Structure formats: structure tokens, C-alpha cells
Chains A and B, each alone.
Chain A
Amino acid sequence: MKQRNSTLVIGASLVGFSIAVFLLSFFWTPYDPLEIKPELSLTRPSAAHWLGTDENGRDILSNIIVGSRATLVVAMVSVMICMLLGVSIGVATAMSPKWVESPAVFGVDILLALPTVLLAIVLTAVYGPSTSTAVVAIGLALSAPVAQVTRREVKSILLADYVTAAKTSGSGSLRIVRKHILPNLRASLFVQASGASAIAILAEATLSYLGFGTPPPDPSWGRMMASLQQYLIVAPIFPLWPGLAIVITVLGFNLLGDGLREALDPTLRRQTD
């Protein structure tokens, strides 16, 4: 009897919720998030504005809803980039001869050492702040840990007898990757993607907070935190909302990743004879 995987359920629900909000943003928001009404500046949550208004009188709830777009789009696209790049590098290095593998691993290690934010700042300085710059920076930075983990997993798969059997069956390297390595990596990739999503979301929020991500006027949770933080002492409820949005989404992906690992980990079997 499998124990109830509550981590997976909670994680999936939170992620599902975030995605629902994201989809909702295309159809309906209580107010136009960009509409400025200076007379309503910083009103507390009320029946009219459930989460209150920001310093420019913009409805916070609407901004949170539309802000999910920046977050999730950046997260999804950068995760796609980092997975494609990371898995390709991971598989390629694991199967290369030593003289190719060693310098490549060294390169990945260097990339790992670079903080995402630093890379983004460099790229932004060159190309100007935008969603795409953030996406590329995060995607590149995250490809390093993915490459490292993938490389280790592939090396362990390569030790299995069924890979040796594939070689004696005449299978070439490309076929071995296609038929033997990738299918057995699937579980690990799902887990890695969930973890990478959580980091990507946090990274995007950080970049926006610092002014290097999605530029105004497009709503973004990170930038909202930056502009509302000055009211932290006086009225903490304002920066709380975007902060909460970030926490819930990041937590959701983290729990999803943990839950998937629990569900898919074949080593968590009971001890037998």
C-alpha cells in the first residue's frame, strides 16, 4: 500500500492554482491593472479592492493576476531553455571520451559558480532590461546544474548491463541515447524541471526587484515588491501580497518536485530477502 503522497498533492494544487491565475489573467481582471487613480493611492483592502491599491491607485489584485504572466512565462521559457541545453550537455559529456569530458565539466563548474543574478546584470547592461534578457540569463545559468545532475545520472545508466547489451546488439551511440538513456532519464527530468521552475521564478522576481527584468508598465511581482517595500513599516500588508504570490508559486513547484521524486524513486522500496 503506497503511503499518501501529500507533498505531491499539495505541490500540484499550488502549481495548478498559479496556472489557473495565469490563464485567468487573459480573460478577466477586477480592474485594469495599469489604470492610475491617484486619489485611491494606498487604500487598504476593501470590498471594492480586495487587496487594496498601490501608491498610484492601481488595483493590487489585478496587478498580481497579470503579474503572474511575467513570472510564469519567464519561468516556463527559461526552464525549457535550461532543460534542453542542460540535458544535451549532460548527455554529451557523459558519453564523450575523457579528453572532451574533462574540459566540458570544468566549463560547467565555472558556469555553476556564477550567480544567476550576476549573469543577468551583465546581459542587461549589454542588451537592456527586458523579459527576454531575463529569460536567457536564467535559462543559461540554470542549465549548469541540470547538466551536472544529468551527466551523473547518464553515467550511472551507462553502467547498466542493458546498455552493454545494446552495444553487443550493434546499437550505435545515438540509438543508445534515444532508446536507453532518455527514457530512463524521464523521471529525473521531471523532478529537475520542477526544481528549476522554482528557482527560475525566484530568479525572475529577484531580477525584477532589482530592475533588471520585465520593465514597466507590465506588472511584475518582483517590481511590485520593490515599489511597495518602502511601506513595509507603515503598512506591511502591501508588499505582503506580491511576496505571498511569489512564495506560494515557488513553494508549489518545490513541493511538486519533491513529491515527484518520492513518487518516482524506485530505490524507496522496502527491504526484501
Chain B
Amino acid sequence: MLLQVRGLTVRFGDDVVVDDVSFDLDSGQRLGIIGESGAGKTLTSLAVIGLLPDTASVQGSIVFDGVELLEKTDAEMTLLRGNRIGMVFQEPLTALNPLMRVGRQIAQPLRIHRGMRMKAALDRATELCARVGLPDPERMARMFPHQLSGGQRQRIGLAIALACGPSLLIADEPTSALDVTVQEEVLKLIDGLVKQEGSSLVFVSHDLPVVATMTERVAVMRGGKIVELADTRDLLDSPRHEYSQLLIRAANSSDDDFLNLARLGKT
């Protein structure tokens, strides 16, 4: 079992924002976490990678590859981040350092975790740019984030997250800020890369159709709790919890008008 989360509870003072969350993730598996805003999805993923703000108090257990993460110091977590666990964020503009060329940003984890020298790391960074589907990778690597489009920035974000071949990739709303055509491309990219690397994936989103196509299992979160955890297919066909049923019904009906007009079938 790659990742085992048991009884994860996150508090800000008296406010319980993640409430007794438990789930497993095996090697190569993909888990979706779905819910509305404020449900605790992002905080759960931040807890796993150890990036919760200092004001948060955490209880429970997060065991990654046999090691209890909640006992680790920040310095120890730094060794894991970008190395064994990679994360892609929602807003490509703020997740990248505006003052550093993107090639160097991809090179950073390689230098820190693989001890590569700058030249070798930059070469590998250019390869990764190509791998994430950026045309003209040598030129792209020398660009600054503001010179790139949202979709291109998100590809860079992926390159950084995957640079050291992590066994776990956490994607927190990676396409929510992107145009719908770009979203489709980036999702395909994530799908392909995760398959190639054999990594596990935790995919956080509020968008049910997206989660449905990207993952095999889904955890539905509401008010900090997981109200249902099931195989994606089972959840879509016969959701058990009332809240899941609401979500699925809403997503389906929202689809229906569009699909009827377009005379398209479901995927």
C-alpha cells in the first residue's frame, strides 16, 4: 500500500476543517477527491504533502511507503516533496516563480534531490519540456512564466512535479483555471504521464465529469468528512449517500441539456 491515511483531522483553532478522513491508495492507483468549495479537499491533499499552514493542527496518520509522514519534520518532508511526492496546483500563475526562467524551475528539484549539476539538470529540464508536449522545448525552457499561456504554465507545473519521477502525484484542481479546450489537452497529458511513470494519482476537483474520466476510485467530501468512498463506476451508477446522489444528479442534468442539443452521447 503506497499511501494509507487514517483518521486525518485538521483543525484551525476550534474549526475542524478535515474530519476523520481515511483512505488507501495502492501503487499505480488513481483516487479522485470531489466536493464543493470548503469541503476540505485541498487541505487534505496539503496535509499529505506537508504543506499545511503553521496555524493548522493535525491529528491522525499518513503512512507513505511505510513511513509515518505526520511525525516528520519540515526538513525531512522537503526531501520527499518534489521527489517522491509531486504536486500540481490550480493557479499556474502563482505556483511558478515569476522571476525565474521555467527551465531552471524544472531543474531545481533535479539538482536538490538528484544532485545533478546545473548543465545536466537544464538538459533534462528541456527533455521534460518536450515530454509535457511543449513545442520548441529549448526556447520554452528559457521563457519566464508570464510569457507563457495558462496551459503552457500548467504543463511546466507538471514537468516540475514529475521531474524526479515521484511515486505519487497530487493534482489539486489542475485544470479549473484553464479554458475548456486546453483543459482537455492537459488532462490527457496527466493521464498519459501518470500511466508512463506508473505513479499513483490523487486528483482533487469540484468537477464531476472530469474526475469521473480521470480516476478509478472517488472519495466524496463534504464539510470535512468523506461521505462516500467507492469505485468511480459504482459511484456513478448507484451512489449510496444522499449528497453523492445530489451531485451526480446535478452533473447529469447539466450534461443533458447540452448533450440533447448536440445530439451527442455520453462518453
A residues at B contact (CB < 8 Å)? 1, 3, 270-273
**What are 11 sample pairs from A and B whose C-beta atoms fall under 8 A apart?**
A1-B15, A271-B42, A271-B53, A272-B17, A272-B37, A273-B35, A273-B37, A273-B39, A273-B40, A273-B42, A273-B43
Which of B12, B13, B15, B41 is within 8 Å of A273, CB to CB? B41
- 5 A-B pairs besides A270-B53, A270-B55, A273-B39 with CB distance below 8 A are A1-B12, A272-B38, A272-B43, A273-B36, A273-B43
B14 within 8 A of partner (CB):
yes
**B21-60 to A contact mask, C-beta < 8 Å, 1/0:** 0000000000000011111111100100000010110000
Top 5 nearest A-B pairs (CB, nearest first) are A1-B13, A273-B42, A273-B37, A273-B38, A270-B12
Interchain nearest-CB distance for A262 vs B (Å): 14
Q: Which residues of B contact A271 (CB under 8 A)?
A: 42-43, 46, 53
How many chain B residues touch the partner (CB < 8 A)?
18
Say yes or no: A272 contacts B14, CB within 8 Å: no
Interchain nearest-CB distance for B40 vs A (Å): 7
Q: Which residues of A contact B46 (CB under 8 A)?
A: 271
Q: Which residues of A contact B55 (CB under 8 A)?
A: 3, 270
* Bound Cα distance from A270 to B42, whole angstroms: 12
* Bound Cα distance from A1 to B56, whole angstroms: 11
Say yes or no: B38 contacts A1, CB within 8 Å: no
Interchain nearest-CB distance for B224 vs A (Å): 10
Say yes or no: A1 contacts B14, CB within 8 Å: yes
Residues 41-91 (chain B) with a chain A CB within 8 angstroms = 41-43, 46, 53, 55-56
* Bound Cα distance from A271 to B35, whole angstroms: 16
Q: Which residues of A contact B36 (CB under 8 A)?
A: 273
Nearest A residue (CB) for B38: A273
Q: Which of A1, A3, A273 has the most CB of B within 10 A?
A: A273
Say yes or no: B13 contacts A272, CB within 8 Å: no
Interchain nearest-CB distance for B53 vs A (Å): 6
Q: Which residues of A contact B40 (CB under 8 A)?
A: 273
Interchain nearest-CB distance for B131 vs A (Å): 30
Q: Which residues of B contact A3 (CB under 8 A)?
A: 55
* Bound Cα distance from A270 to B13, whole angstroms: 11
Q: Which residues of A contact B12 (CB under 8 A)?
A: 1, 270
**B207-237 to A contact mask, C-beta < 8 Å, 1/0:** 0000000000000000000000000000000
* Bound Cα distance from A273 to B42, whole angstroms: 5
**B152-183 to A contact mask, C-beta < 8 Å, 1/0:** 00000000000000000000000000000000
Q: Which residues of A contact B39 (CB under 8 A)?
A: 273
Q: Which of B14, B36, B55 has the most CB of A within 10 A?
A: B55
Interchain nearest-CB distance for B35 vs A (Å): 7
Interchain nearest-CB distance for A2 vs B (Å): 8
* Bound Cα distance from A41 to B228, whole angstroms: 85
Nearest B residue (CB) for A270: B12
Q: Which residues of B contact A273 (CB under 8 A)?
A: 35-43
* Bound Cα distance from A271 to B40, whole angstroms: 10
Say yes or no: A272 contacts B42, CB within 8 Å: yes
